[in-house]
Structure 1
């Protein structure tokens, strides 16, 4: 096994090259959903765009995403149409709603509300596409009974962009922009290993028992992920008990079985965590995992009515939420890691006990502020503590 790791390290040092200059990362945060990804994708899709390709880029997109029956004759494309990330429509009453998620999570009933919006505007035939880095499913409350097609940057968007390159071959600036955007997506999805490097690595894996060793390593890697995440939840519970003993016992669904299911089952294994009841205010201050950890407010179960007004009022008084207007407060921690498909920098943080402790403390400190505000609100008039 030592030889395998040594040879892999040599191959990486020889063939792997980090991407060079990239205009997108200079101008914008590489995870900026609205001002980078949605706008650039909408520009390419727009038949009236200055790229001069007409409907060809949009047609290639529909083919890759397997959207059949959409009439391109009068198609128009808008970014951020009434909060819809990318909206494609035509005069025949057809519409495509593309919800673009890099790191954000779904607002309550988000996809369902968008569908109701376009139906009210008279569109009889709609397609709903849910775009994430790795093809993650939307939250159940978001889509309800809506038929949603899940697509990913990692495979679908990159495949479409590769089809676009020959279509824009004579436009050097646009061609280079698409190349650089593909490089950005490969970095975001951790698929930026060079072709020569991967070819040599695959060749090495076919030698001797190397493939069997890698299978063992993959199993061990998954076990380490389970252990590291379990340690993080334990740090949260310990820190809360020691620092904020006045908080009630949480409803704890982040047990070892839930964590193991998260890494070994393909669906219905997200949304577990620590849920602290708010007493007189019906609901929770909670920490939850949906590939990324976050903390926030939520009411009991599916019935949001009991505590909705009180929690929305508290949410509106707090600062720096990731929530859309009209939804409950929630926020990611400063170290925003992908626990399902961690990148190299995510793994470096996870294995660092000091940084792991900092994440645990930030989440518990945040959820304590939310719990305390609800407690003070129920007890009587009180100034709301800032959640900065």
Structure 2
């Protein structure tokens, strides 16, 4: 994903000071152009194929946190064409609800996701995934694969999430790592941080894919889900 131009970042920061302008609201589908093109190219050849290699290897996701964040956000996006609707996001909300009971079980139609956003306009607080459901909740997902935590990183993200949910919505930060470990930089906000393992995401994808992708025309979606599960289990 290309970095934003300085004037774009300034515009985003200005918008956040007074709330998002409808015309500047982030796109509902946060996946990069290259990912969208790849999915489009795969749909036709995979329609009649029972087994095929892992397309995520071809896409060179490897262990890149931004690339894997973009794919994860696509699967979580209720408006994505992955075949899951909001079911994967419901699984995530249920996990968060264990730590923060005030979270809803299901997203609203107004829910939208962004990747690599600076919710408060500060470049030092660029978060991997945000899930903003106006009037319902605000959620940050911090994705870790190989990178270490920066100084007070998760504590700062908690401050950002709390500020964005100043209208009384529940908020939380999901700390997604290969081991599902607790954050070392949450400070006094540890109660608002939900540790999550990549293997849990993989389990959800594998459990849901045969249920929501039964039709023959969903073969590509089912394969993408299962192979992404295989991919993230290698972290």
Normalising by the smaller structure, the TM-score range is 0.5 to 0.7
1:57 matches 2:60 = no
Does the C-alpha gap of structure 1 residues 31 and 78 become closer, same or farther in structure 2, counting only changes over 3 Å?
A: same
- Map of 2:198 onto structure 1: 153
Alpha carbons 2:113, 2:129 under 8 Å: kept: yes
Distance 1:108 1:172 in 2: 44
Secondary structure in 2 aligned to 1:129?
A: strand
Cα distance, 1:65 vs. partner? 5.1
Cα distance, 1:61 vs. partner? 2.9
- Map of 2:231 onto structure 1: 184
More relative contact order in 1 or in 2 (CA 8 Å, sep 6+)? Answer: 2
Deviations 1:49-107 (A, max 9, x none): 12354322311332355455325113222221212111112111511111110010111
The unaligned stretches of length 5 or more in structure 2 are 1-51, 119-125
The unaligned stretches of length 5 or more in structure 1 are 1-19, 189-388
Cα distance, 1:185 vs. partner? 2.2
Of the three residues 213, 216, 225, the one matched with 1:168 is 213
Distance 1:163 1:121 in 2: 33
- Map of 1:76 onto structure 2: 112
1:115 matches 2:154 = no
Q: How many residues align?
A: 166
Give the 5 Å matches for 1:7-156.
21-35=53-67, 37-64=68-95, 66=97, 68=101, 69-70=103-104, 72-73=107-108, 74-82=110-118, 83-92=126-135, 94-123=137-166, 124=168, 125-139=170-184, 142-146=185-189, 147=191, 148-154=193-199, 156=200
- Map of 1:378 onto structure 2: none
Deviations 1:115-169 (A, max 9, x none): 2223333443212211100112222xx2111121111012x11221123202233
Alpha carbons 2:132, 2:138 under 8 Å: kept: yes
Does the C-alpha gap of structure 1 residues 22 and 48 become closer, same or farther in structure 2, counting only changes over 3 Å?
A: same
Q: Which has the larger radius of gyration?
A: 1
